[in-house]
Amino acid sequence: MDFFQEGFAQAVTLLVNRDPATYSAISATIRASSLAMAASLLLGIPFGYLLGYFDFRLKKFIRIVVNTLLSLPTVFIGLIIYALLTRNGPLGEAGLLFTITGIAIGQTILSLPIVIALTATAVEAADRNLRITLMSLGASSFQIAKSTLWEVRLGILAAAVTATGRVLTEVGISLMVGGNIKWQTRTITTAIALETNKGEFGMGIALGLVLLLIAFAVNIFLAGLRRRA
């Protein structure tokens, strides 16, 4: 219990005193996760709509692949991205290894299947009479897609919440692709792993509480969007 008391006290101290290392980790976490979520939603929602709305030959197989990717280990993603971005890799010249952008690419791969799968499920559960009504009114394909996505907006918000939680708490990608470089790519989760390995349990708990506060703030924001919706 002393660890938790010490960690809570340190968390308050770190935030109030604006500890540079802590706020650097917070900034790296927010930047990487924001880029990843923006890419995941921009790509995942359209693909999820297509997968859930239309019936085609390989639909069941693609659903199996997407559902399999939901449990993809973060260390495996980190390994693949590292191999691609390393100096001898096919994308080595891009210079994305040990950068926030590189972390965001890995986190996008992690969260994209979540957005696709949950969006497709929400679209499949939508009222089928909506399609018939819109077609009878002469709606275009874009208008049908727009209306359907608006109808299942709560399901899409649920997908965003789930994907955000997975991105914020992952360690493997940030550690392998980001390199845990202080002031640059050290995120809250990699900082927690580092401090715990050093025996600084109080600091690790403090950073964990900070991460919990960030996740809580994100969920409050999304809950506000859900009430408005």
pLDDT digits (tens, 9 = 90+) for 136-174: 777 788 888 888 898 898 899 889 989 998 999 899 999
In this predicted structure, what is the pLDDT of residue 117? 95
Q: How many percent of the chain have pLDDT more than 70?
A: 98
Query: What was the pLDDT predicted at 159?
Result: 92
The CA-to-CA distance between both ends of the chain, in Å, stands at 42
The domain defined by 24-199 folds into MetI-like fold (1.10.3720)
Please give the Cα distance from 21 to 3 (Å, whole number). Answer: 21
- How confident is the model at residue 3, as a pLDDT? 67
Question: For residue 129, what are the contacts with CB-CB under 8 A and spacing of at least 6?
Answer: none
Interatomic CA distance for residues 177 and 103, integer angstroms? 6
Average pLDDT score, the chain: 87
Cα 72 to Cα 148: distance, rounded to the nearest angstrom: 29
Nearest CA-CA partner of 97 in 186, 177, 184, 182: 177
pTM of the model: 0.89
**What pLDDT does residue 1 have?**
56
Asked if 179 contacts 99 with a C-beta cutoff of 8 angstroms, the reply is no
- Residue 184, helix vs strand vs coil: coil
- Of residues 112 and 126, more confidence is placed in 112
pLDDT at residue 34 is higher than 90: yes
Closest Cα to residue 164, out of 52, 75, 38, 62? 38
Q: Name residue 127's amino acid.
A: D
Q: Where are the alpha helices (DSSP H) in 70-125?
A: 74-85, 100-124
Name the nearest CA neighbour of 160 among 65, 62, 61, 229.
Answer: 229
| 99: DSSP letter | S
| pLDDT category of residue 197 using cuts at 50, 70 and 90 | confident
Q: In this structure, are residues 193 and 175 in contact, taking their beta carbons and an 8 Å threshold?
A: yes
